[in-house]
A and B are shown apart, each in its own frame.
Chain A
Amino acid sequence: MEWFRKAKAGLTRQDKQDIPDGLWTKCGGCGEIIYARELERRFWVCPSCEYHFRIGHAEYIRLLLDDGVLEEYDRGLISGDPLKFKDKKKYPERIADAQQKTGLADAVVCGIGKIGGRAVSFSVMEFAFIGGSMGSVVGEKVARAIERAMTRRIPLVIVACSGGARMQEGILSLMQMAKTSFLLAELVEAKIPYISVLTNPTTAGVMASFASLGDVIIAEPGAQLGFAGPRVIRETIRQELPPGFQSSEFFQEHGFLDKIVKRTELKPTLINLLTFLSGPNSGVMEKTGSTLPMPGGLPESPA
């Protein structure tokens, strides 16, 4: 039996780690010193240069879902150690540490929420959990989120943030790319819309599977997006990489991204896209949401 618990999103331990300590914080983009409460009110986007600070899963839930509510599923899926992976730190210890740090069992949170009154199967990845890497648990939870979208005939939204497949599960991690992509083929057949939201970073095995397969793909500005890591590319071609290489802007320029969307405009953009995609020939049950976004409007601020 599937179980859930309602997770009213608040600041988790993990968020407190990602978000700079203290009253004042230095912008990673322009170096300006900004009042932390001001940043929080702006969803951690710099007021001067629009640098997007990295935020955690709970913040995206609060930012994107109506009332910040996610009806969470599959919270208790826990990774095994199929390879008995030999490393300086044992894989189960690595998992336990990440669990302690984030309060999550693994690197993705999945469930049902509403965006502009429309129910969606929603997933958001957590970078603070071993770099948002995809092993068996992430693959399984994303697979179930896709199946949930098909069963309930509601759109799928995935907020990606991941360095790629998780090395410690070897070939099993790699195969999660095939598993999730397979189910997305069925999602297309079922005419269920899927919006992929890319955040900093989305690379390697996640980028080369479900994150690249949205009907519409949007990304926050300045995110690192791509297949191979910059270090590997630099060492392979023995050349410096061009400025802005593998950024959201690079991705859009080369035709692999529908739109760069500022964090503060993500929700209204999602509402517009979901409204369009839930057309008369779509497989979604509820063709219209109850609320439409204000043109260019901001979502409700948390504080």
Chain B
Amino acid sequence: MRPGTYLDFEKPVLELEARIRDMREFANDENVELTKELRLLERKLDKLTRETFASLSRWQRVQLARHPMRPYTLDYVEKMTTGFTALHGDRAYGDDRAMVAGPAMLSDRPVLIVGQQKGRTTKEKLANNFGMCHPEGYRKALRLMTLAARYGRPIVILIDTPGAFPGVEAEERGQAEAIARNLREMALLPVPIVIAIIGEGASGGALGIGLGDRILMMENSWYSVISPEGCAAILWRSEGAVGNAPRAAESLRLAADDLLELGIIDRIIPEPLGGAHRDAAASASMLKAVILESLIELGALKPDELIARRRDKFRKIGVFSEDDTF
């Protein structure tokens, strides 16, 4: 097991898997009869896997959402679509590599793909700023979404970001304005918009490409107003933010089933036991099926009806009561 490719709580499972692999190899190479032993170990692995992954805490799901081996936007694009053509630039300032966008074929449908890309290698991570977008990223996304809308092409958005980049230049170039404008412009785009949170959905950085007709969440992704660390830094500053992130994750109710229960998302995409990275191909095919299904449903609506439903979806979000005596 290469360091930096697994999480602590995955370790026992991975070690047992490795032991079984070794034993099987040994049995084959040396022509030794170990079927019984192998079967026993496999049963043990099955039990351990279930125990480890069956009821994950919110914090464990956050960790899986950040798993170094987790499929990223371009992994899904590669597995779900053909002919993806990445397009660059916001026509104003520059190109943000943390935001990828371009046309692709999803089965037989031309769609626009938009999504944040974290980067796998250290070099990629730095080039992509760890998936944290600058204003030009949001503006590139909007430019191409407007283009897709003009030509009647649906939009598929994959969200995976630890947040919009908090830096001096991002502020100078209007990070807040870029996100706000996207929200206002996406509201009335007359084509279906299907959104999937595939990993991290941190705050305004995620929402900046997050307004649409269907919101899907991968089972082990998270989506909230602030990261667990950010929340912990505010709530438990004196006691240490990092150690309290798991508590904050619980408080924020940021997991997929929380958001389904709160009426924010439409569907959860199940992941293979242990997380999307344990079978990226299976994860992609699950996601693809639900996106296609959503596009077929939404494709039946006239643009006015589509926008009216989108409006209702967001207009009704909020929990409050009315007390006339206040």
Contact = CB atoms under 8 A, between A and B. Distances in A.
Interface stretch (A32-40, A85-93, A119-127, A265-273): A85-93
A229 B204 CA distance: 13
A86 B324 CA distance: 29
A204 B183 contact: no
Given A179-B317, A233-B166, A171 B171 contact: no
Interface string A117-161: 000000000000000000011011001000000000000000000
A19 interface: no
A285 interface: no
B322 A255 contact: no
Interface in B206-232: 207-208, 210-211, 223-226, 230-231
B73 interface: no
Given A178-B183, A232-B230, A227 B204 contact: yes
A171 B323 contact: no
B320 A209 contact: no
B180 interface: yes
B317 A172 contact: yes
A254 B173 contact: yes
Contacts of A188: 184
Given A105-B323, A176-B317, A182-B184, A207 B176 contact: yes
A86 B251 contact: yes
B126 interface: no
Most buried by B among A167, A178, A236: A178
A88 B239 CA distance: 12
B176 A76 contact: no
A77 B183 CA distance: 25
B311 interface: yes
A140 B320 contact: yes
Contacts of B318: 136-137, 139-140, 172, 175-176, 179
B165 to A, nearest CB: 8
A82 B324 CA distance: 21
A253 to B, nearest CB: 9
Nearest to B235: A87
Interface stretch (A61-69, A241-249, A295-303): A241-249
Contacts of A12: none
B252 A178 contact: no
A213 B211 contact: no
Interface in B295-320: 310-311, 314-315, 317-320
Contacts of B174: 254-256
A176 B225 CA distance: 10
B324 to A, nearest CB: 5
Contact of A233 (B168, B203, B234): B168
A3 B226 CA distance: 35
Given A169-B319, A179-B314, A245 B224 contact: no
Q: Which of A80, A242, A256 has the largest count of B CB atoms less than 10 A from its CB? A: A256
Contacts of A185: 184-185, 187-188
Interface of B: 164-168, 170-177, 179-181, 183-185, 187-188, 203-204, 207-208, 210-211, 223-226, 230-231, 234-235, 247, 250-254, 258-259, 262, 264, 310-311, 314-315, 317-326
29 contacts: A76-B323, A77-B320, A78-B320, A78-B323, A83-B253, A88-B235, A136-B318, A165-B203, A167-B226, A172-B317, A172-B318, A174-B207, A175-B207, A176-B317, A177-B179, A177-B180, A177-B183, A181-B187, A183-B315, A186-B187, A207-B176, A208-B180, A209-B183, A227-B175, A228-B166, A236-B165, A254-B172, A254-B174, A256-B174
Given A228-B171, A233-B166, 10 more contacts: A3-B324, A167-B225, A170-B224, A174-B203, A178-B210, A181-B211, A208-B180, A210-B180, A227-B175, A245-B171
